[in-house]
Amino acid sequence: MNPPLLFDAHLDIAMNAIEWNRDLTRPLAEVRAREAHLRDKPDRGNGTVSLPELRRARAGLVVATQIARLEHDCYSPVFGWRSPAQAWAMTQAQRAWYRAMEEAGEMVLIHDRAGLDRHLELWETATETDPLPVGYVLSLEGADSIVTPGHLERAYADGLRAVGPAHYGPGVHAFGTDASGRLPARGADLVREMDRLGMILDVTHLCDECFWDAMEIFGGTVWASHQLCRALVPHNRQFSDEQLKAVFARGGVAGVALDAWMIVPGWIRRETTPQSSGLMLGHLVDHIDHMCQLAGNALHVGIGSDLDGAFGTEQTPQDLGTIADLQKLTGLLAARGYAEEDIRGIFHGNFLRVLRTAFR
């Protein structure tokens, strides 16, 4: 089959530009070479994503995040900010970078159905992808930066269309990965306001209790942007079969992520390597297949790679050197018996169906 359009449902592009200081308009080899001497981040010199590389991957449409969490003294595995106001300011810096990319013709904001259809026609009819802008749907990973409900409405007016209420640990509005607790009243109010505005609820990273609470409160469109299976890799970051089925029953889609420790069991950060674990893209297909078996079809699985989520090739399958190598999944899925229609659904069709439902 010809390389399909890729809809990547989770990339932290602006975080990489602003906090990692990467010029993502440049070729990936140049980005890697510029930072090969740095040691402040584990993925320095190992990045897999740039805008030219997205075009080579045929990733014409992505869900691009704003992310700025609070730093809690009791739990701080990743850097955060000391106040919601600081976190809000960082998300606005990230939004300013996306605007700069729009002005340069590198990216285009997709926030309604008409814009989505125009952009897809552009990519589907073009013979060359190099000059094309990468379309992006704006998402917020972790809602610590939402100071008041008015800030959420302001963000919606500015193009924000999806929100994940939590990230890691305890958050302002919800408990996330490695934390536990019921959805606080403030989080319930956030979810209701998202519903009123017609936003997408991204349930990824919600702890089990908050997941079920949010699913009960929220009546709108749901997806799990970057999510794998607890049945294959036991960890609270993963979703149980019951959670996955709940997402699918709502018409939602789960996007499979490429972070190595989520794909195979027993991964020890900073010790295990793709080589020592034998990790290959075929292991990711195991998760895809598990979800499809749960759903009884291939209509509820997509790709949410998270390939620029603070890790690089030191923590990806051995047969993935850049995001463009996601196209290898077409052959791997075909070898497992997936039809071309199903493969195209996994690459873009399933998330596009959900996005069209969500857009008013």
Range of the domain at 327: 7-358
How many domains are contained in the chain?
1
In-domain check, residue 2: no
3-state secondary structure of 199: coil
Whether the Cβ atoms of residue 108 and residue 35 lie closer than 8 Å to each other: no
Q: Which residues pair with 7 in a beta bridge?
A: 61
In-domain check, residue 237: yes
In-domain check, residue 1: no
Spell out the residues 6+ positions from residue 98 whose beta carbon is closer than 8 angstroms to its own.
13, 14, 64, 107, 109, 136, 138
- CA atoms 153, 156, 161, 162: torsion sign: negative
pLDDT on residue 360: 74
pLDDT in tens, 114-140: 999 999 999 999 989 989 999 999 999
Q: Which residues pair with 65 in a beta bridge?
A: 139
Whether the Cβ atoms of residue 286 and residue 265 lie closer than 8 Å to each other: no
Chain-centre distance for alpha carbon 257 = 8
| Helices and strands in the chain: count of H runs, count of E runs | 15, 9
What is the rounded distance in angstroms from the CA atom of residue 54 to the CA atom of residue 50?
6
pLDDT on residue 80: 87
In-domain check, residue 202: yes
What is the rounded distance in angstroms from the CA atom of residue 47 to the CA atom of residue 63?
18
pLDDT on residue 295: 98
pLDDT on residue 182: 98
Q: What are phi and psi of 173, to 5 degrees?
A: -110, -15
pLDDT in tens, 49-92: 999 999 999 999 999 999 999 987 655 556 789 999 999 999 99
Both tokens assigned to 14:
């602006």
Both tokens assigned to 68:
């700025």
Count Cα atoms within 13 angstroms, Cβ side, for 166: 30
Q: What is the largest CA-CA distance in the chain?
A: 52
Q: Share the mean pLDDT of the chain.
A: 96
pLDDT in tens, 137-155: 999 999 999 999 999 999 9
Whether the Cβ atoms of residue 109 and residue 62 lie closer than 8 Å to each other: no
Q: What's 33's domain CATH number? A: 3.20.20.140
pLDDT on residue 72: 73
